[in-house]
Amino acid sequence: MPPGRDPFANFERMRREMEELFGDVFSRTGFAPRHGFSPRVDVYYAGDPPRAVVKADLAGVDPDEVGLEVRGRELTIVGERRPQRAEGRVFQQVEIPHGPFRRVVGLGADVVADDARATYEDGILRVEIPVARPSQRARPVPIEARRGGREEARLGEGEES
């Protein structure tokens, strides 16, 4: 063997070629392990009044097959990117992931779920959710005092009896 030649260099190339060849065959027959895909997201806060903005890369996903849910401080995005039609095609390379997905995006603030709005343009899903404003109104809280076996309701400070 000539010096400086890596005897395993061609094995890596062969492994990649076999993975591409058999990976495509198995995915078309349904025997491939499911890797699925998880959309990439950007999350930021902007505007006045402030709102959380989540942008998800959903290129190739039909927006009618996407579901959104806001629960507490989490936005859940579910859907499926369907594989390309394979009939009459011989693929040289398959890198675009497909399959069902479920992405839970943590939000850094309380939000008003009922006022969420979503748009889809050029493969980007944009979800805007207003940030909940903290309650500005103080609310007195009554204190229950227990003395000698009987309960009395006492008003909180600042309240008149």
DSSP string, 81-139: EPPPP-TT---S---S--EEEEEEEE-SS-B-GGG-EEEEETTEEEEEEEBPPPP-S--
Residue 12 to residues 2, 18, 114, 126: CA-CA distances in angstroms? 19, 10, 53, 40
Strand, coil or helix: 61 = coil
Q: What is the DSSP letter of 66?
A: -
**Is pLDDT at 62 greater than 60 in this prediction?**
yes
Q: Which tens digit of pLDDT belongs to each residue from 118-142? A: 999 999 999 999 999 887 667 788 8
Give CATH for domain 36-130. Answer: 2.60.40.790
In this prediction, residue 161 carries a pLDDT of 46
State mean pLDDT over 61-78: 95
End-to-end CA distance of the chain: 100
**Is pLDDT at 75 greater than 60 in this prediction?**
yes
Can you tell me the distance from the alpha carbon of 70 to that of 129, in angstroms, rounded to the nearest whole number?
Answer: 9
**Is pLDDT at 11 greater than 80 in this prediction?**
no
Domain limits of the chain?
A: 36-130
Going by their DSSP bridges, the two strands 117-121 and 124-130 should be labelled as: antiparallel
